[in-house]
Amino acid sequence: MSRQFREIHTLDKDLERISAAERAGVQSLRALTRTGIAVLFVAVMVVVAAGMAARGGTAALGNHVGVATVAAGMALAIYFALTIGANDVSNSLSPAVGSGAIGLRAGLALVAVAEIAGAVLAGDRVSATLSLRIVNSAQLLADGQAAPAMLAALLAAAIWMNLATWAGAPVSTTHSIVGGIAGAGVAVYGLSAVNWGGVAVIALGWIASPVAAALVAAGLLALVRERIGMAADRAAAARRWLPAMVAALTALAAGMLIGGPLGQGKAVSLVLMLAIGAAVRVAALAHLNRRIAAAALIGAEPRQRDLFAVPLVLAAVLMAFAHGANDASNVTAPLGLILAAAGQAGGAPAGSALQPIATLAAGGGLALGGLLFGRRLVVMVGSRITRLNPVRAFCVSLGTSAVVIGASWLGLPVSTTHVAVGGVFGVGFYREWEDRRRKRDRKALPVEETRRRTLVRRAHVRRILFAWAITLPASASLAALFGTMMR
């Protein structure tokens, strides 16, 4: 090898090292940039809220909440919202991204818009439940205890979520904040301050919603397999059923808006719901036809990925809307009471002007958390879901969306993660039942082999149930401790 060639080879290696270092620097800067954007959002919202509170005269002493309390509440609430958005975006988007129905960036942007829309347009009912049906918020506001109590609730929920994440326990932000609000109320006024009937109704919703999702998802899987999977012409069957399923759920979501913030009469609401559902069905059918035609051009049968691409994307958008409508209340309820206390101290106009800030903080935090920090979880969960089946992913997504939208319509705060887990379990149990029915005449397998072939791991079910049971008392105990200290 000549000296000149060796020098060129050495130069190439040095340049490769420099390029590798530059790429590593770019990757590290991306993580730093995302964190910086989140911190900037928190800082801007804190400055805006504190500035409005200061102009309203909330810095008085005594029982009045100060500007520092408003700033602390806003910072904690947005951190909580960012955490919720980053962890829960996979529930909405992973099936669609994992199946190749939509790209990661486009999917994150679409889901972010749907999250904000759900929080702004349909989040008031669940927020009212958390604000009014757990503790006596009017008494807290009258005694000047609302701000410290809700700060304790937010702090306890955030700490418990971090501890659970570190321990790998599948806990819920909704369970955490409900426990935090109840524990803070107990710290201020004792056990009599908590509306145990309201807490019982909420807890009943926590039990019923995963069961409902399991039943809906299993029913959808049975319907899809019978009407589409076993059809002689699967493409024609998909045209008939899939757009209709998504359109029906879209009409349900539209009904929640039309009957709520848009305030239409029953007849007008029904007409608008049907019109919106019909429009979604036409759009979904047109796009589905293009997918099927593209497969026919190369002389191939349409794959499941072709048939379920559009329904999965629409289900992801509906799921994100439902998530924004339900889980935004975890932020708006305690933050709204803190800002209401600020309004009492500074006057009613200041309080009413501060309330939209809570909605903006919740919706923006959910959307930004998913955009900035949710991509890795979406890719990881999405790859696992696609290896299962896009059909089952569609049934889980649509079943979860239906249950969360229905709960939001009723004003019940539920855990979207646990509802999604319920849908997965429902599909798994249905497949076990179907497998046993098909192999009824086959020779019985040994116990060890039967356990190995079990589709739903019972130990995982028990672990999740234990996490559900411990979250409420744990977050309530932390909130009671912090509430006592703040008093």
**How many Å from the N-terminal Cα to the C-terminal Cα in the chain?**
80
The per-residue pLDDT for 300 is 65
* Res. 21 pLDDT band, cuts 50 70 90: very low
pLDDT(465) > 60: yes
Max mean pLDDT range (252-261, 296-305, 315-324): 315-324
Residue 420: count of CB within 10 angstroms of its CB: 28
Mean pLDDT of 161-184: 79
Q: Which candidate, 165, 236, 205, places its Cα nearest to that of 410?
A: 205
Q: Is 456 left (phi over 0), alpha (psi -120 to 50) or beta?
A: beta
Confidence band for 270, pLDDT divided at 50, 70 and 90: confident
* Whether pLDDT at 31 is above 80: no
Identify any residues that bridge with 194 across adjacent strands, giving them in sequence order: 135
Q: Looking at the predicted structure, is the pLDDT value of residue 144 above 50?
A: yes
pLDDT tens digits for range 372-415: 887 776 766 555 543 457 788 888 888 989 999 989 888 889 98
CB atoms within 10 A of CB 283: 15
pLDDT at 219: 92
Q: How many CB atoms lie within 10 A of CB 136?
A: 17
pLDDT at 449: 46
Q: Of 9-18, 42-51, 238-247, 311-320, where does mean pLDDT reach its minimum?
A: 9-18
- What are the residue ranges of helices labelled H in 56-172? 67-98, 104-122, 124-132, 137-142, 146-167
Q: 443-455: per-residue pLDDT in tens?
A: 555 555 455 445 4
Supply the pLDDT for residue 426: 84
Instruction: Please tell me the distance from the alpha carbon of residue 239 to that of residue 150, in angstroms, as a whole number.
Output: 50
How many C-beta neighbours within 10 Å does residue 7 have?
Answer: 10
Mean pLDDT of 258-269: 57
Residue 237 pLDDT > 60, yes or no? yes
How far CA 445 is from CA of 431, 441, 459, in Å, comes to: 17, 12, 21
Residue 104 CA to its chain's centroid (Å): 17
CA distance 224 to 434: 14
Residue 135 is predicted with a pLDDT of 86
* Diameter of the chain measured on Cα atoms: 90
DSSP 63: T
* pLDDT beyond 60 at 172: yes
Q: Please give the pLDDT value at position 298.
A: 63
Q: Which helix (H) or strand (E) holds 412?
A: none
- For residue 252, pLDDT over 70 is answered with yes
Encoded tokens for 139: 């008494």
φ and ψ at 446, to 5 degrees? -60, 160
Q: Is the pTM of the predicted complex or chain greater than 0.85? A: no
Residue 259, phi then psi, degrees to nearest 5: -80, -10
pLDDT at 28: 44
Q: Which residues of 242-279 are buried (b: 16+ CB within 10 A; e: fewer)?
A: bbebbbebbbbbbbbbbbbeeebeeeebeebbeebbee
Mean pLDDT of the 257-272 span: 62
Cβ(347)–Cβ(138) under 8 Å?
no
Question: Are 371 and 112 within 8 A, CB to CB?
Answer: yes
Between 58 and 483, the higher pLDDT residue: 483
**What pLDDT sits at residue 345?**
55
The ranges assigned to domains in the chain are: 3-486
Q: Which amino acid is at 437?
A: R
Which tokens belong to 346?
A: 């500074």
Kindly state the DSSP code that residue 414 receives in the 8-state scheme: -
DSSP classification of residue 61: S
Whole-angstrom distance, CA of residue 331 vs CA of residue 358:
8
Residue corresponding to tokens 């979604």: 280
Distance CA 173, CA 414 (A): 9
Say which range, 16-30, 89-103, 105-119, has the weakest mean pLDDT: 16-30
- The count of residues in the chain is 487
What torsion do the CA atoms of 255, 260, 263, 266 make, to the nearest 10 degrees? Answer: 40
Mean pLDDT of the chain: 77
Residue 69 pLDDT > 90, yes or no?
no
The answer to whether 487 and 186 are in contact (CB under 8 A) is: no
- pLDDT class for 349, splitting at 50, 70, 90? very low
98-128 burial, b if ≥16 CB within 10 A, otherwise e? Answer: bbebbeeeebbebbbebbbbbbbbbbbbbbe
Q: What is the mean pLDDT of residues 428-446?
A: 68
DSSP 180-233: HHHHHHHHHH-GGGB-HHHHHHHHHHHHHHHHHHHHHHHHHHHHHIIIIIT-SS
Q: What pLDDT score does 212 carry?
A: 94
Q: Percentage of the chain with pLDDT > 90?
A: 6
Worst-scoring range by mean pLDDT, 5-14, 80-89, 102-111, 170-179?
Answer: 5-14
Residue ranges of E strands in 286-372 = none
